[in-house]
Amino acid sequence: MVCTDVAGRGIDISGVEHVVNFDCPKNIEDYTHRVGRTGRAGKSGVATTILTPEDTHIYYDLKEKLQESNQAVPREIASHPASSQKPGAVPQKPRQQVQYVDVEAGRRGGPRN
């Protein structure tokens, strides 16, 4: 069976033992619904996701989801920089001190934050 994300939700086909994600889902919710087609009702199943360099947007959430469900996190994902920071999060840098100059008096002011 081949299907799109439309069939990823609400469909229940018994006996699905393996799901292959040829295109990486856009978000972790779609990933969860896709791989949820296998391993239902206490049965085991396998999900294989083909990832490319363009799929780093999901690495952080995928690593978190795998860890939450006590699944092995592939080494390639665990060691990738994108898996250690949520997409869109801006790393906090220490604020630099700025020194202001009092132009009229011709002297330098002290550091201000």
The predicted-structure confidence for 17-68, as pLDDT tens digits, reads as follows 888 888 888 888 888 888 877 777 777 888 888 888 888 888 999 999 999 9
Q: What is the pLDDT of residue 64?
A: 93
pLDDT reported for residue 1: 61
Higher pLDDT, residue 91 or 18: 18
Q: What distances in angstroms separate CA 75 from CA 18, 28, 47, 53, 84, one per listed residue?
A: 21, 19, 16, 15, 13
Separation between Cα atoms, residue 26 and residue 56, nearest integer Å: 10
For each of the domains in the chain, give its residue range(s) and CATH number, in order of start: 5-112 (3.40.50.300)
pTM of the model: 0.64
